[in-house]
Chain A
């Protein structure tokens, strides 16, 4: 069974960079049909896609966050990483990593991590 586990600091200071990791277990990250991405959810609010990365290295980002986001991966360790710079209180959210199936026009998130809460506060 595929599992995704997020990890990283739960508290980040305003203007600093939020850094999270996601470790994948129980499956391969090197399939052409899948991207690996991040979705966040501010407390009490809806879901927002941040961006995704393919094992080949190609990435795509939410245009509203693109200037501050970097997503990278280490296929040998089956990990993906999120960096979000210049954070503010508005970036306080539960951050999920998720696998995206992407093939022949079909696109959806089929596996999710449990999520990790990141609070931006001084």
Chain B
């Protein structure tokens, strides 16, 4: 059981928008930057969002991040079948003195 809670799965149709939540506490999300990672089947994770809402070079603006209080959200617009993947949030937990990943959310594009 991760200290960062994500829904196990989300789904939406191609072209639609989906959001994935990541809920934590003041010891992690509340006081630290959040990053998001995309893991396509059988592939290593890839950085999607860092510092809550910044995109690395090469990541399309269909992907966005936000944070409010002790929760963070990943948004994906214009869904494509190629977006089907597992998505993980992550941040530092000051109380545990450890980096934490959320449990992951499987995105299905119907």
Interface residues of A (CB under 8 A from B): 39, 46-49, 52, 60, 62-64, 96, 101, 105-110, 112-115
- Closest CB-CB distance, B73 to chain A, in whole Å? 17
Is A46 in contact with B101, judged by CB distance below 8 angstroms? yes
Chain B residue at minimal CB-CB distance from A48: B101
Interface size on B, residues (CB 8 A): 26
Is A62 in contact with B50, judged by CB distance below 8 angstroms? no
CA A114 to CA B92, docked complex, whole Å: 23
Is B44 in contact with A109, judged by CB distance below 8 angstroms? no
Known A-B contacts A47-B88, A49-B99, A49-B101; the reply to A108 vs B50 at CB < 8 A is: yes
Secondary structure of the A side of the interface?
Answer: strand
Is B56 in contact with A110, judged by CB distance below 8 angstroms? yes
B32 interface residue, CB < 8 Å from A?
Answer: yes
